[in-house]
Every structure is written in C-alpha cells, then in structure tokens.
C-alpha cells in the first residue's frame, strides 16, 4: 500500500472522540465517534480518502476533465468536484432525476464550478446515462481533451485502499487511547467503505466487529453482504493480500433502510447528538446509524460495558436540503 501513488486531499488523521454526554443520556456503552466529517475537503466526508488515490491516477493518466454521474444530492459528487478542482481539473456531472433545487450538494457543485447536466433519468436508466457519458467523452477526446470517467456504483479497488487505511488509522487511535472497541457502526450505501474496513480490520487485527446499517430498501441483506465481500476480495487481490471474505461473515442490518431520505427516527437521533455533544450528524447517513445504535442498546444487543465506535462519514450539506423536515421535528429529549 505504501507504494501506491496518492495525492494529499484530506486532513488526516481525523479525530476519534469520546461522546460522554450521549453515553450518559442513553445509559449505555462507551461511545466514540470517528469524525470523518472533518477531513477538510469541501464540507468533509469519507469520500476524500478514496479520491486521494483516484485523483492521483487521473493526473498520472494526463486527464484534464472528470466526467461522473450520480444523484443530485450526492456527497460523492460534491467531494469529487472539490478534489478535481483542487488538482486543476474541470468537472462535468450527469445528475439523475431529482428536485432540481439548487441547495445542499447541488449548490456546492455549482459553486465549485462543475458543469451540470440534468438528465431527468432515474437510477434504473443508468445504462442510457452511461451512453451519454461515453458520447461526451468521445467528443472531448476529439477536442484534444483527456477525460477521466467515473461511473455509478462501487469504486475501483484503487479507491478502496483509502478505506483500508482508515481501519489502520482507527486501530492506531484505539491503541493510543488504550481502548478495545467491540463494534464499529457505519452507514452502508454502495458498501465500499464497509468493504474497505472489513479488509483493513482483518489485516490490522482490529478488535472491533464492523456493523453496516443499510440505507437502500431495494437491496436484500444477503445481496448487500455479497457485494461487500466481493469488493473486499477484489481489493485484497489488488493489494496482493492473503485474504478471503465470505458473505456470511459480513454484518448488515436492513431493518433501518428508508432510502436516501430522512425518517422521523433518524432526525430524532441526529438531534440527540446535537443536543448532547454539540455537533451535527446528517439524518440520511450517520443519523440512521445513530438510530440503529440506539435500538441495539435498548434491545440489549450492545451491553453497557461495551465500547462502540460510530463512524461519521460526512454528508452535512443534506441537512439544508431537508430544513423543513428538520425544523418541524419535535425535540427527542425523551429518546
């Protein structure tokens, strides 16, 4: 891994912080939070870790423009745009159907100078969007440009290396604190961060079990576990590691999946973190992880004597998109 070229885009390591007020409020375990909302790229988030490697590859290939696709409020696309601008490349984004409201990540994409193409297409139409991207790439090449194409879905093993390093970073911080966490809870969208952490946790002999909270209700638990194990195995082969992951070793919870929108419980969980610890988690990703952690504590699956890490993957721009839902919600002081 040390031999793989990458470009420094993030402020690392990010803090691993105690949340004593939250722990006391829940009468539960010792809770730590890994603050990857503080990576420093755009408005933070874990995507910068992967982009350090992917942008290095793009520059090594001589690329001068990035072409990518995703939802209108994609944290990935916002971080990608910021990373590309930081290394001197233009950005063209093909955005899937949404509200077209210039708020949150879409506002930041525009502010970063990305060229926006609103496709009006759904995720199920991704093959048609890919064709549009290919046509544009051909046109750019005819003009002497060198596009770097990033399609929808999981990222290449090269980008996954950033999440393997993440596991190393967490293990080092636990050692410095002389702690052994039993669990690491994180949001599970594409499964890339989960897969990288599974591989890294195995390689660095982490004390914790990686627990993914699924967001997409269209995916089955078994199907998502297979995706994660496949991605972990691809990355292991890329890194020439003697490692094989099996899908039945992957822990995913699908009972909290409510698509990529806030729910009443995720808003309540996000507000609880704000009221007890004085910082923010978004209600789309980390808020749902917090919701799941609360339920696991209440059900007795997480013991009071346990130590749990909550992984904050970023996503704060989405809070402004859902300002009405957040302001209308009741305070969860009884959570």
- Say what the pLDDT of residue 297 is: 95
Q: Any alpha helices (H) in 102-216, and if so which ranges?
A: 104-111, 126-142, 157-177, 192-203
Residue 334 above 70 pLDDT? Answer: no
Longest Cα–Cα distance of the chain, Å, equals 63
DSSP lists the bridge partners of residue 308 as 31, 183
| Range 47-150 classified under CATH 3.40.50.1100 | yes
Segment 81-100, tens digit of pLDDT:
999 999 999 999 999 999 99
Residue with token string 């993957």? 313
User: Can you name the CATH fold of 16-45+156-328?
Assistant: Rossmann fold (3.40.50)
pLDDT score for 318 = 87
Quick: pLDDT tens for 184-228. Answer: 999 999 999 999 999 999 999 999 999 999 998 888 999 999 999
Average pLDDT over residues 291-306: 95
Confidence class for position 133, pLDDT limits 50, 70, 90: very high
Check: CB of residue 207 under 8 Å from CB of residue 173.
Answer: no
Mean pLDDT score of the chain: 95
pLDDT exceeds 50 at position 332: no
The structural domains of the chain, with segments of one domain joined by +, span 16-45+156-328, 47-150
pTM of the model: 0.95
Apex 188 CA angle, 279 and 289, nearest 5: 40
Q: Quickly state the pLDDT bin for 57 (edges 50, 70, 90).
A: very high
- What is the separation of C-alpha 176 from the centre of its chain, rounded to a whole number of angstroms? 25
The yes-or-no answer to whether 16-45+156-328 and 47-150 have a common fold is: yes
Confidence of residue 157 (pLDDT cuts 50, 70, 90): very high
Q: Cα dist. 202→13, 114, 197 in Å? A: 20, 38, 8
147 confidence band (pLDDT: 50, 70, 90): very high
Quick one: pLDDT at residue 329?
Answer: 65
Give the E-state strand segments of 285-327 in sequence order. 307-312
Quote the tokens at residue 190. Answer: 């594409």
What are the pLDDT digits (tens) for 241-279?
A: 998 999 999 999 999 887 788 999 999 999 999 999 999
pLDDT of 16 over the 70 cut: yes
Written as six digits, the tokens of 210 are 């990686």
The set of residues, in sequence order, having a beta carbon less than 8 Å from that of 185 and lying 6+ positions away, is 211, 213, 289, 292, 293, 308, 309, 310, 311
pLDDT of residue 330: 58
Q: So what's the pLDDT on residue 333?
A: 47
């Amino acid at each position: 891994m040390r031999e793989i070229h990458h470009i420094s885009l993030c402020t690392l390591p990010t803090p691993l912080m105690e949340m004593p007020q939250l722990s006391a409020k829940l009468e539960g375990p010792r809770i730590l939070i890994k603050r990857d909302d503080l990576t420093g790229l755009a408005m933070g988030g874990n995507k910068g870790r992967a982009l350090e490697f992917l942008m290095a590859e793009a520059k090594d290939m001589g690329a001068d423009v990035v072409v990518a696709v995703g939802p209108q409020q994609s944290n990935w696309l916002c971080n990608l745009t910021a990373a590309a601008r930081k290394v001197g490349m233009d950005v063209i984004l093909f955005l899937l159907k949404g509200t077209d409201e210039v708020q949150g990540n879409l506002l930041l994409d525009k502010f970063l100078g990305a060229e926006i193409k609103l496709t009006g297409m759904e995720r199920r139409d991704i093959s048609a969007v890919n064709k549009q991207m290919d046509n544009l790439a051909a046109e750019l090449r005819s003009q002497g440009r060198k596009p770097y194409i990033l399609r929808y879905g999981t990222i290449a093993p090269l980008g996954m290396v950033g999440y393997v390093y993440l596991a190393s970073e967490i293990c080092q911080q636990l050692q410095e604190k002389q702690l052994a966490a039993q669990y690491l809870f994180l949001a599970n969208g594409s499964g890339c961060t989960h897969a990288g952490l599974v591989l890294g946790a195995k390689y660095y002999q982490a004390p914790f079990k990686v627990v993914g909270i699924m967001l997409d209700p269209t995916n089955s638990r078994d199907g998502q576990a297979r995706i994660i194990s496949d991605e972990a195995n691809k990355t292991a082969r890329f890194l020439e590691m003697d490692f094989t992951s099996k899908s039945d070793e992957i822990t995913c919870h699908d009972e909290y999946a409510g698509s990529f929108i806030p729910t009443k419980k995720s808003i309540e969980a996000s507000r609880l973190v704000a009221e007890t610890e004085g910082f923010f988690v978004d209600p789309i990703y980390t808020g749902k992880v917090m919701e799941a952690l609360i339920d696991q504590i209440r059900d007795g699956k997480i013991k009071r004597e346990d130590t749990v890490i909550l992984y904050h993957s970023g996503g704060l721009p989405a809070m402004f998109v859902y300002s009405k839902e957040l302001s209308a919600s009741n305070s969860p002081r009884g959570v």
